[in-house]
Structure 1
Amino acid sequence: MQRLIIRLGTNIEDPIHWLVFSDQENEIIASGQLQSAAELPSLKERASNAEMIALAPASDIYFAKVDLPKKGARKVIGAIPFMIEEELASNIDSLFFALGDNQDDKQDIAVIAKTTMAEWQDTLSNAGLFCPVLVPDAQCLPSNDGISLVQIGQQLLVKMPDDKYLQGEVSWLLPLALEQAQKQALSLYCYSEIDNWPADQNAQFVFDQLPMQLLLDGAKQSKLNLFQGEYAVRRKANPTWDKWKIAASLAAVAISLNLIFTATELSAIKSERADVREQTAQAVKQGFPQMGNYRFWRTAVEKEMLKLEQGGGDLSMLAMLTRLVKPFEASGVKPQNIRFDAKRSELRMQSVAKSFEALDKFKRDAQGLGFEVEQGAINNRGDEVVGVIVVKG
């Protein structure tokens, strides 16, 4: 599994750091920095193959703890905004209250302006990114008996031992963190190099990971997802799916019928032939529920498929998939995700095969049928290989 983590800024003009990490290979696949949120669409292809996590600036969030009664705690949850109203500078109607961890009847609360929440979601949505998890950045730092610090760009993230989180420019936040450490006699733990660090200031420096990788580990363990309640993110159905889902279903039926028919020709045992006929009837009924009665299933199915092909537009995908049946069978390549561009007559498939040679065989066989085939990045996944194949009609 791959994970893509990005760190949002307070403003859309702020730089955005990102990193892609492979859990299976336990290594960083790629990382970088975007100049602003306007460049987020450039991560769309990486996000399509990874689980995505976003980090929010801790400076835009107010953190609080609320004591809950041992009995009837659920009933009190709805009253939390009124319990901490005096601590807040804004009207509670304009604020969103996210629930975090609950330990020993103490409920962690994160308070964010609703306008800010909407801006973060709009930024991700407008970039075409599906991100169901949003975690405060400084909360993802390691917990210890002192103060944790890490610098990302010109921003400093600070995690205090009393679950207080700070984030801001190094120039003003570093002196504040050092002052708190001196007042409370706390140790300092630095997980990156920090600008303007005093030469005489003692600290434990731990540079085992890149800052974004360190925050990814913390985000995976976090019990606070800001995208909850009215801001919970749910995957939207692909708007193009309705246009060609019938074609995709028929293509699957066509492949199934082809395999069934081949098995029938090779088998002379009556019981197996009876089983094949039953499977065929079920496949035809599932793929063509409106076809009605028929005498010869092959002729009936071919007529229905011809009608769809003659419909033009997006349904030309069916003709391409049908012609690619033999290359799929011969190579053992299995498509996992299929995207079809009707204007370009182009199929983009995330495919799985047993070896690199299998992908090459599919490419050669498809080219032999007159298709133009391009291969994208190919990665190992256990005993299999995963790659992107683009077939142009």
Structure 2
Amino acid sequence: MSYRLYVQPVAPFAALHGDSDHQRFDWALIDASGMFQATGQDEDRSRIEQTLTQNDLDHVRLIGLIPGDESLFCFAEIPAKQARYVRQALPFAVEEQLAQDIDSVHLALGQRSEQGFRVAAIDNKRMALWYTLFDDIAGADLEAIYPEASLLPIQDTRWCLCLDGDATFVSGSRGEWFRMNTANLPVFAYTLANPEEDEVAAEIPVALYGRAGDLEAQRSVIDGLGAQERLRLHREALEMSPLELLVHADHNDLCDPINLCQGEFEPQDQGASTWRAWRPVAIVAGLWFVLQLGVEAGLGYYHLTQARDLEQQAMSIYREAFPGDTRTHAGNVRRVLEGRLRVASQEGPRADFLSLLGQTGAEYERLGGGNVQFNAVNYSRQRGELVVELRADSYDRLSALRSAIGDRGFEARIGSVVNDSDGARARLTVSGGS
């Protein structure tokens, strides 16, 4: 559900002197239907933030209300209709109506009326103080800043007044507003009764709101106001606070205030506010990601270097075994070797006389040879077998020779074994295998 928080600083205005921590507020919290959920009077900022936290409310829209005499209302006669051109011409259109340098004034543009564009002007430095004051309230997103008097309900009356102790809020049907001391109302009554150039009404309706206590306390002032012949004064006692009246009027569109949060003071949206809350986490995550990316890149380069070294070693060994092969490279060496091995396994070991004799002799030399003697050698081309008559100091020698030849892919068998006092005699048969 959407919630709105209205916050109104109360005098003395410590925030204007750089002491925002001691600024006190009147405030009201309403839901989307306009029902008041919580209110407070003359409380500090921590109390407002505590209420939002206890009710687990996120992204509450905050409306700040500043004293009506902090900003000036004026009209700007600008023939342009496009907003960009209107804003460019705005300082020149209102410069003569302001009593200070236009460069030091913040201008907020309102709706266009018969008299021209409605404009609110406020000192830049003062606007910055108010903006910071409201924006620092945790748990709420600043949406607008209004002069409090501009939220008075203007309907069928020319003027609307609201008593708030010694102060009175005044708003007019043309959009003007101001704040004045209640004691000066009788003096100001002549201004209220003075008709405009194009006004022909015999009476000027004025609505006056106030709590029963304020109406009673200011009876003489109100009587003086009602003594003006042209003013038709309608008094209405409030059963709510003046702030609640302003909140009610704004929620029900009974007023048309000018939002001072424009230009350089335009508040961030909720997405930006969320980003601001999560920005430290995002920074840490970003740093971690960059660090992790650096580590992964370093490891990738290291493994790439190692892979290239292994490829070079593999190709060096391959070149030694097959010096005549110039077409094989690191990308296909595995496939070439698998093909060679597959062909070799299908053909089997060579079974001619020289191959069998050479392999048998090589293993004989590798085993030492001294303890094994060749007595006779026979070869059968038809059977593809080499038969060797052997003598050794033990059968284990003969068995070792047979195993070594078998490990080379040949078939080796020992038969006709005779053991005597000098050792063992046997017949070794070697063939090409299956």
Which TM-score band (shorter chain)? 0.5 to 0.7
What CA deviation, in whole Å up to 9, does each residue of 1:280-336 have, x standing for no partner? Answer: xxxxxxxxx99x9xxxxxxxxxxxxxxxxxxxxxxxxxxxxxxxxxxxxxxxxxxxx
Q: What is the aligned partner in structure 1 of residue 164 from structure 2? A: 152
CA shift for structure 1 position 102: 1.8
CA shift for structure 1 position 217: 3.2
Q: Which amino acid aligns with 2:134?
A: L
Q: Does the 8 Å contact 2:24/2:45 carry over to 1? A: no
What CA deviation, in whole Å up to 9, does each residue of 1:331-385 have, x standing for no partner? Answer: xxxxxxxxxxxxxxxxxxxxxxxxxxxxxxxxxxxxxxxxxxxxxxxxxxxxxxx
Q: What is the aligned partner in structure 2 of residue 233 from structure 1? A: 267
User: Given the superposition, is the C-alpha separation of residues 186 and 180 from structure 1 closer, same or farther in structure 2, using an over 3 Å criterion?
Assistant: farther
SS class of match (1:30): strand
User: What is the CA–CA distance in structure 1 between the aligned matches of 2:280 and 2:175, rounded to whole Å?
Assistant: 50
Structure 1 residue runs without a partner (length 5+): 249-288, 293-393
CA shift for structure 1 position 140: 0.6
SS class of match (1:102): strand
Q: Which amino acid aligns with 1:217?
A: H
User: What is the CA–CA distance in structure 2 between the aligned matches of 1:45 and 1:183, rounded to whole Å?
Assistant: 48
User: What is the CA–CA distance in structure 1 between the aligned matches of 2:134 and 2:282, rounded to whole Å?
Assistant: 27
CA shift for structure 1 position 156: 1.2
Q: Does the 8 Å contact 1:70/1:105 carry over to 2? A: no
Q: What is the aligned partner in structure 2 of residue 51 from structure 1? A: 61
Match status 1:190 vs 2:211? no
User: What is the CA–CA distance in structure 1 between the aligned matches of 2:135 and 2:82, rounded to whole Å?
Assistant: 38
Q: Does the 8 Å contact 1:65/1:107 carry over to 2? A: yes
User: What is the CA–CA distance in structure 2 between the aligned matches of 1:228 and 1:210, rounded to whole Å?
Assistant: 29
Q: What is the aligned partner in structure 2 of residue 92 from structure 1? A: 102
Q: Which amino acid aligns with 2:236?
A: F
SS class of match (2:162): strand
Q: Does the 8 Å contact 2:30/2:36 carry over to 1? A: yes
User: What is the CA–CA distance in structure 2 between the aligned matches of 1:71 and 1:246, rounded to whole Å?
Assistant: 44
Q: What is the aligned partner in structure 2 of residue 276 from structure 1? A: none
User: Given the superposition, is the C-alpha separation of residues 157 and 127 from structure 1 closer, same or farther in structure 2, using an over 3 Å criterion?
Assistant: same
User: Given the superposition, is the C-alpha separation of residues 45 and 51 from structure 1 closer, same or farther in structure 2, using an over 3 Å criterion?
Assistant: farther
CA shift for structure 1 position 196: 1.2
CA shift for structure 1 position 167: 0.6
Q: Which amino acid aligns with 1:12?
A: A
Structure 2 residue runs without a partner (length 5+): 16-22, 196-202, 227-232, 286-292, 297-434
User: Given the superposition, is the C-alpha separation of residues 47 and 97 from structure 1 closer, same or farther in structure 2, using an over 3 Å criterion?
Assistant: farther
SS class of match (1:203): strand
Higher CA-based Rg? 2
User: What is the CA–CA distance in structure 2 between the aligned matches of 1:197 and 1:188, rounded to whole Å?
Assistant: 16
SS class of match (2:273): coil
TM-score w.r.t. the length of structure 1 is 0.54
SS class of match (2:238): coil
Mapping 1:160-179, distance limit 5 Å:
160-172=172-184, 174-179=185-190
SS class of match (1:156): strand
Q: What is the aligned partner in structure 2 of residue 6 from structure 1? A: 7
CA shift for structure 1 position 180: 3.1
CA shift for structure 1 position 8: 2.9
Q: Does the 8 Å contact 1:139/1:218 carry over to 2? A: no
Q: What is the aligned partner in structure 1 of residue 421 from structure 2? A: none
What CA deviation, in whole Å up to 9, does each residue of 1:85-122 have, x standing for no partner? Answer: 12211101110111111235821111100011111022
Number of aligned pairs? Answer: 248
Q: Which moved more, 1:234-243 or 1:58-67?
A: 234-243
Q: What is the aligned partner in structure 2 of residue 301 from structure 1? A: none
User: What is the CA–CA distance in structure 2 between the aligned matches of 1:133 and 1:73, rounded to whole Å?
Assistant: 19
Match status 1:180 vs 2:185? no
User: What is the CA–CA distance in structure 1 between the aligned matches of 2:135 and 2:151, rounded to whole Å?
Assistant: 24
CA shift for structure 1 position 64: 0.9
User: What is the CA–CA distance in structure 2 between the aligned matches of 1:93 and 1:31, rounded to whole Å?
Assistant: 39
Mapping 1:269-284, distance limit 5 Å:
none
User: Given the superposition, is the C-alpha separation of residues 72 and 246 from structure 1 closer, same or farther in structure 2, using an over 3 Å criterion?
Assistant: closer
Q: What is the aligned partner in structure 1 of residue 417 from structure 2? A: none
Q: Does the 8 Å contact 1:56/1:135 carry over to 2? A: yes
Mapping 1:252-267, distance limit 5 Å:
none
Cα-Cα RMSD: 3.4
TM-score w.r.t. the length of structure 2 is 0.50
User: What is the CA–CA distance in structure 2 between the aligned matches of 1:131 and 1:146, rounded to whole Å?
Assistant: 31
**Match for residue 31 of structure 1 among 21, 39, 45:** 39
CA shift for structure 1 position 41: 3.0
Mapping 1:1-393, distance limit 5 Å:
1-9=2-10, 11-12=13-14, 15-24=24-33, 26-34=34-42, 39-47=44-52, 49=57, 50-69=60-79, 74-104=84-114, 106-128=116-138, 130-143=141-154, 144-172=156-184, 174-184=185-195, 185-193=203-211, 194=214, 195-198=217-220, 200=223, 201=226, 202-205=233-236, 207=238, 209-220=240-251, 221=253, 222=256, 224-234=258-268, 235-237=272-274, 241=278
What is the identity percentage for the equivalent residue pairs of Structure 1 and Structure 2?
A: 22
